[in-house]
Amino acid sequence: MLFRLAWRNLWRNKNRTFITMASISSAVLLSVTLVSLQRGIFDNLIRNVVSFYTGYVQVHGKGYWKDQTLENCLPLTDSLLRSVQNIPGVAGVAPRLEAFSLASYGEATKGCMVVGIDPESENGVTHLKDKLISGDYLARGGSGLMVAEGLANTMGVRTGDTLVLLGQSMYGSTAAGKFVITGILRFGAPDLNQRLIYLDIGVARLMFDTGEGVTSLVVSPANESEFRALAARLQSSLTDVADVMTWEEKMPDIVQHIETDTASMYIISGVLYLLISFGIFSTLLMMLAERRREFGMLVALGMKRGILARLAVIESVLVAFLGAITGILISFPVVWYLEKHPIKAWGALRETFERLGFEAIFPTVLQADIFISQTAIVLTLALILAVYPAWHILRLNTVQAIRS
Amino acid sequence: MEKVVLDAHNVSKTYNEESAVPVQAVNNVHLHITEGEFTALVGPSGSGKTTLLNLLGGLDRPTSGQIIVGGVDITGLKENELINFRLHNIGFVFQSFNLIPVLTARENIEFIMLLQGASKTDREKRVNELLNAIGMPDKADARPGELSGGQQQRVAVARALASKPKFILADEPTANLDSASANNLLDMMIRLNQEENITFLFSTHDQRVIDRARRVVRLVDGKISEDSQ
């Protein structure tokens, strides 16, 4: 009976109910779209950053991350590689051997990071081939090298030229070699673009005398959103032999940026919901003022105040629920559309994004939890706000209310 | 032997007791109502009619005195006990009808029985009886906004009767009605009183109503100045 009464009471003043619903649904639309957009932008940012170089998860030799020397490299046996590949949730594994060297061409000498890779598995994980701007991609077992565009420009080299690399082997002896440049790569991140040189991992192992050693295994997860769980599984199965790190542990500055931005979004959402609260509360105040005599009459007839207070709460929650559902129904196609057709950056912003190697787009993500959480927030607000009319009814003076 | 439904002893009500100018709305009233009475409480505006009705109906508490309804001293009841007592023992008819606008005539009458926890069968039977008694079976599904003032007040009387109360208190029931509607309502109330022995106590300053009351209690400055009994 209470629900039926509450439902009909909502439509006593259709305009007021529609206006309240419209304010709630607009705020839900705005909030859902903003949160979806923010999450979409972050996901895209992470995808970009991770696909550059780091990967979602990396496996290192024990102690390598703190002391990044070749002595701490990870001996990569076939059985170790297979056991990593066989862990559930692993989509691909790319071994790397990274070491600092000097690159020399003619009179030019420059410090660089030499990265030994398995060309195919590296491409599978970081899509390295997409960054090739001239020449050929490294062949497995090939004796050439690929150099980053910025470094190549600084040294004045191009494909077909020969670079001399001079470094230190795992045992402290000189590690040196002469390599023909087969390809030039372009990285968005200036830091990477100025210092990376890629060799085949077999060649790099010989040069740095690491035997089977690698400095890292870049692991790509089958499901990107489950990379933390994958890292935990890897760590538990490699406890004695390796350290496992997620991209978040390797790049805390990006995590901090996301956290700061998320906090800003909480503030924006908070302001939105404050506005919603005022909307709902003013409706409740109007409802109380209009129906004071009716409430008094109902108590006079024998309706317990507690039941009457419940009626007011149900009405408040109902209007909030209808507003929230309408907001969700409107925001669903908006978010879906912006996911399929992301907003494109323009002008200087677009140039900056592209220079850094990021996609110049702002996509949304269509995720159920965003819709559910926004609905839950609106309903919670309505419940909290409904405390006022309930309290008002509980202390209503029946005689004065009937006379009002 | 006549059955007493309402007994008020030395009932007084003073507003603003603590202030310099307290207002004595009801002053030492004794009133004795027996079953089947059709009593008009009359007096000029401000004489304390509505305040006395509110006290007798348990809507307000007297400053002093005792009010006994069906053997129960309602002045000693707690708020929730009083609400429950009203629900089962006292019917109210208000000047401005006060039907629930979103419920139909049938639902308005049924509402009280729902609060009482009556079964669906009992509710339906009683509602149909009452709709027939007020002569409005054809308006059962009309909402208050679709009814005239007189029809709304008849539904209000039916609602008051739905709980099978010991008596009905009506505060100026004809004040907002035109002559024809007021006469129809009075006819119906008198018929219910005579045929079903329903006890009515109503405040009024409408001479048409006073003329048809069997007992007239006159109130002046909160005191009973005249009782036709």
pLDDT tens sequence across B2-47: 788 999 999 999 988 788 788 889 999 999 999 999 999 999 888 9
**In chain B, what percentage of residues exceed pLDDT 90?**
56
Crossing angle between the packed helical segments A252-290 and A14-49, to the nearest 10 degrees: 180
Please indicate, yes or no, whether residues A202 and A261 belong to a single structural domain of this protein. no
Which conformational region is residue A122 in: left (phi greater than 0), alpha (psi within -120 to 50 degrees), or beta? alpha
Boundary-marking domain end, from A240, A268, A286 = A240
Q: Which residues contact A176 (CB under 8 A, 6 or more apart)?
A: A164, A165, A166, A167, A207
Pairwise CA distance, residues B204 & B7, whole Å: 20
Please indicate, yes or no, whether residues A225 and A324 belong to a single structural domain of this protein. no
Q: Which residues contact A157 (CB under 8 A, 6 or more apart)?
A: A105, A147, A163, A181
Task: Say which DSSP state B24 is in.
Answer: E
Q: Which domain holds residue A130?
A: 63-240
Residues in chain B with CB shorter than 8 Å from the CB of A297 are 92, 94, 98
- Residue A383 domain flag: yes
- Residue A315 domain flag: yes
User: B194 to chain A nearest CA, in Å?
Assistant: 24
Please indicate, yes or no, whether residues A79 and A212 belong to a single structural domain of this protein. yes
Cα dihedral A139, A145, A148, A149, rounded to 10, equals -100
Better-predicted residue by pLDDT, B55 or A383: B55
CB A71 within 8 A of CB A135: no
The tens digit of pLDDT for each residue in A210-236 reads 999 999 999 999 988 889 999 999 999
ipTM beyond 0.85?
yes
CB A181 within 8 A of CB A159: yes
- Pairing assessment for the beta strands A162-168 and A361-362 based on DSSP bridges: unpaired
Model pLDDT, residue A355? 67
CB A356 within 8 A of CB A45: no
B/e letters for B22-38, b = 16+ CB within 10 Å, e = fewer, are eebbbbebebebbebbb
Please indicate, yes or no, whether residues A338 and A281 belong to a single structural domain of this protein. yes
Pairwise CA distance, residues A226 & A362, whole Å: 23
Collapsed DSSP state (helix, strand, coil) of residue B67 = strand
Q: How many CB atoms lie within 10 A of CB A19?
A: 14
Please indicate, yes or no, whether residues A27 and A89 belong to a single structural domain of this protein. no
Please indicate, yes or no, whether residues A193 and A123 belong to a single structural domain of this protein. yes
β-partners of residue B171 are B203
- Residue A245 domain flag: no
**Residue B166 reports pLDDT greater than 80:** yes
Model pLDDT, residue B1? 62
Pairwise CA distance, residues B15 & A396, whole Å: 18
Pairwise CA distance, residues A161 & B167, whole Å: 112
Model pLDDT, residue A206? 93
Average of per-residue pLDDT across B109-134? 91
Residues in chain B with CB shorter than 8 Å from the CB of A393 are none
Residues in chain A where the model's pLDDT stays below 50 = none
Q: Which residue of A lies nearest to B88 if distances are taken between CA atoms?
A: A302
Q: Which residue of B lies nearest to A304 if distances are taken between CA atoms?
A: B83
Residues of A with CB under 8 A from a CB of B: 1, 5, 8-9, 11-12, 293-294, 297-305, 307, 398-399, 402
Contact with chain A for residue B175, Cβ under 8 A:
no
Please indicate, yes or no, whether residues A29 and A75 belong to a single structural domain of this protein. no
Task: Say which DSSP state A172 is in.
Answer: S
Whether A300 sits inside 8 A of B84 (CB atoms) is: no
Q: Which residue of A lies nearest to B111 if distances are taken between CA atoms?
A: A1
Contact with chain A for residue B57, Cβ under 8 A:
yes
- Pairing assessment for the beta strands B167-171 and B4-15 based on DSSP bridges: unpaired
- Residue A57 domain flag: no
- Residue A274 domain flag: yes
User: What's the whole-model pTM score?
Assistant: 0.72
Which conformational region is residue A250 in: left (phi greater than 0), alpha (psi within -120 to 50 degrees), or beta? alpha
CB A101 within 8 A of CB A165: yes
Contact with chain A for residue B54, Cβ under 8 A:
yes
Please indicate, yes or no, whether residues A157 and A124 belong to a single structural domain of this protein. yes
Helix (H) / strand (E) containing A67? none
Boundary-marking domain end, from A217, A240, A263 = A240
Pairwise CA distance, residues B112 & A302, whole Å: 8
Model pLDDT, residue A356? 66
Q: Which residues contact A350 (CB under 8 A, 6 or more apart)?
A: A344, A360
Model pLDDT, residue A154? 94
Please indicate, yes or no, whether residues A86 and A223 belong to a single structural domain of this protein. yes
Whether A300 sits inside 8 A of B57 (CB atoms) is: yes
Q: Per the structure block, which two tokens stand in for A197? A: 């040189």
Average of per-residue pLDDT across B68-83? 91
- Residue A31 domain flag: yes
Model pLDDT, residue A365? 92
Task: Say which DSSP state A53 is in.
Answer: I
CB B79 within 8 A of CB B71: no
Specify the residue for token string 């709305």: B25
Q: In what order do the strands lie in the sheet with B38-42?
A: B90-93, B167-171, B200-204, B38-42, B215-220, B223-227
Collapsed DSSP state (helix, strand, coil) of residue A255 = helix
Task: Say which DSSP state A225 is in.
Answer: G
Please indicate, yes or no, whether residues A201 and A166 belong to a single structural domain of this protein. yes
Please indicate, yes or no, whether residues A262 and A378 belong to a single structural domain of this protein. yes
Boundary-marking domain end, from A240, A265, A290 = A240
Number of independent structural domains in chain A: 2
Please indicate, yes or no, whether residues A300 and A266 belong to a single structural domain of this protein. yes
Q: Which residues contact B143 (CB under 8 A, 6 or more apart)?
A: B101, B102, B103, B104, B105
Collapsed DSSP state (helix, strand, coil) of residue B79 = helix
CB A97 within 8 A of CB A116: yes
- Residue A286 domain flag: yes
